Amino acid sequence: MTATPERYARSIADLTRSKKTLAGGVSSNVRLGDKPFPLFFDRGLGSHLWDVDGNEYIDYVLGRGPLLLGHTPKEVVQATVDQLWRGQIYAAQHELEYELSERVSRIIPCADLVRFGISGSEAVHGALRLARAATGRQTVLKFEGQYHGWLDNILYSLSPDPTRAGHALHPATLAESSGQFSGADSHVVVLPWNNIEVLSQYLEQHHNEIAAIITEPVMCNTAVIPPLPGYLEAMRDLCTQHGVVLIFDEVITGFRLSLAGAQGRFNIKPDLTIFGKAIANGMPISCLAGREQFMGLIAQGKVGHGGTYNSLPAAVAGAIATLDLLEKDGAAVYDTLETTGQSLMQGIRNLTAKHDIQAVIQGYGAIFYLGFPVQGANLPVGQAITDYRSSLAMDNDLYTIFVSAMVDRGVRIIPRGNWFLSSAHNQADVESTLKAIEEVFAEVIA
């Protein structure tokens, strides 16, 4: 399980106990893959997290993205708690709800109208349903290596087995889970990302069938791959030309890459968009937003959208408090994220050079990727990974060893290579992290 079981004695006992009644000992399958194994945590503050054995971590997992301001920022917690004492749920309208929708509509370029839910997965579900209703077409086009939630009609080709995934330019539509509804795959087309020729040719021939293109505007779920220059602009133009609904899934990039998300950072207006995670710094709320032409179908009751917990008052209060901080301190928050993240990335680059270790480091200050290529992989210097197939040149087994060794040294990172930063991370965290990396490079990897 781990090289140092005594360090995790209580977590090991907890996992053994919980597995007896909680399927796999976890509440989300992604946590099954945590290294060295699914640990149990006790509390978080700022950029730090403590497990039940009292071990302290610098946290680059950050709830897998939500904690843009770090753990338990005073203002967000206070607003949430204050609201809880005024009632947990009304299942009816409240004034904070339109305060938040007005705020989102002002901040997000395409958000004429907004609806709130709980998870990103269900907001994606709503966007796909809207696109089908608006166009009368059935098929959705997604990209290999991207993730849009765990629901049946879109859980395809996130990390497909390359021996079954078909031609790189025309990948197969592969279900990620057994038990997925067997008819759904005939209405999902998978293409490689960052390749405008393939997309353009496909739409030329099939646009009459395609209701929507759904994309992460930065491919965060594989190697934090930025869009190639002009790619998203060309995608936008193709969608307009062919009457295809463009959906930006900003569950990770939203409020993280800029206050107005990736669409603000790259200045591209999708038709529909989805936010979750960072919008409320850890409180459960998602947001489906977009142009009136589409969202109006929900307003008119033609397209169904519902949920008992939608617009949960405490989560809405948490979101407003988060946006208050992001709007008030916006420049400082985003500057800190960029400066701290870039300083860490540069420090890692220096260490890989010093220890003669091949590595790919790419992305942004607020979220970046680190991976080690397999022996003999001939990757160009610089930004090496541009799509899912080029990510297969990375050595996942070696990275897993790296992750466990880092956790043992008090730095918590995601096994898939993504590093999330918060505005609570500082230069002292960067220095301690680099010290741990240097130790791991010297003692474990080199």
Residue 323 corresponds to which amino acid?
L
Closer residue to ligand PLP (CB): 351 or 413: 413
Closer residue to ligand PLP (CB): 126 or 373: 126
Piece in contact with ligand PLP (CB under 6 A), picked from 32-40, 147-155, 237-245, 429-437: 147-155
Which residue in 8, 57, 60, 147 binds ligand PLP (CB under 6 A)? 147
Q: Are strands 139-143 and 210-215 parallel, antiparallel or unpaired?
A: parallel
Closer residue to ligand PLP (CB): 36 or 120: 120
Closer residue to ligand PLP (CB): 124 or 317: 124
Q: Are strands 272-275 and 245-249 parallel, antiparallel or unpaired?
A: parallel
Q: What angle do CA 47, 276, 180 make, to 5 degrees?
A: 115
Closer residue to ligand PLP (CB): 107 or 124: 124
Nearest distance from C-beta of residue 251 to ligand PLP, angstroms: 4
Q: What is the Cα–Cα distance from 162 to 241, expressed in whole angstroms?
A: 33
Closer residue to ligand PLP (CB): 171 or 276: 276
- Supply 160's token pair: 């497909």
In the region spanning residues 214 to 253, those forming contacts with ligand PLP, defined by CB under 6 A, are 216, 221, 249, 251-252
The answer to whether 63 and 281 have CB atoms below 8 angstroms apart is no
Closer residue to ligand PLP (CB): 280 or 405: 280
Residue burial 378-400, b: 16+ Cβ < 10 Å; e: rest: ebeeeebbbbbbbbbbbbeebbe
The residue among 121, 115, 169 whose CA lies nearest residue 149 is 121
What angle in degrees, to the nearest 10, is found between the helix axes of 95-107 and 313-328? 40
Nearest distance from C-beta of residue 385 to ligand PLP, angstroms: 17
Closer residue to ligand PLP (CB): 258 or 433: 258
Q: What is the Cα–Cα distance from 229 to 234, expressed in whole angstroms?
A: 10
Site string for ligand PLP, 266-305 (x = CB under 6 A): ----------x-----------------------------
The residue among 151, 158, 144, 143 whose CA lies nearest residue 125 is 151
Nearest distance from C-beta of residue 121 to ligand PLP, angstroms: 3
* Residue with tokens 């950072």, as numbered in its chain: 265
* Residue with tokens 């397209």, as numbered in its chain: 303
Closer residue to ligand PLP (CB): 57 or 147: 147
The answer to whether 25 and 18 have CB atoms below 8 angstroms apart is yes
Sheet of 210-215: strands edge to edge? 113-117, 286-290, 272-275, 245-249, 210-215, 139-143, 188-191
Nearest distance from C-beta of residue 216 to ligand PLP, angstroms: 5
Closer residue to ligand PLP (CB): 352 or 422: 422
The residue among 192, 160, 188 whose CA lies nearest residue 174 is 160
Site string for ligand PLP, 107-146 (x = CB under 6 A): ------------xxx--x----------------------
Q: Considering the rule CB under 6 A, would residue 420 count as an interface residue with ligand PLP?
A: no
The residue among 187, 264, 273, 197 whose CA lies nearest residue 235 is 197
Closer residue to ligand PLP (CB): 147 or 294: 147
Q: What is the Cα–Cα distance from 97 to 210, expressed in whole angstroms?
A: 34
- Supply 201's token pair: 């040719």
Nearest distance from C-beta of residue 274 to ligand PLP, angstroms: 7
Q: Kindly determine how many residues on this chain lie close enough to bind ligand PLP according to the rule CB under 6 A.
A: 13
* Residue with tokens 């509440």, as numbered in its chain: 27
The answer to whether 320 and 100 have CB atoms below 8 angstroms apart is yes
- Which residues here bind ligand PLP, judged by CB under 6 A? 119-121, 124, 147-149, 216, 221, 249, 251-252, 276
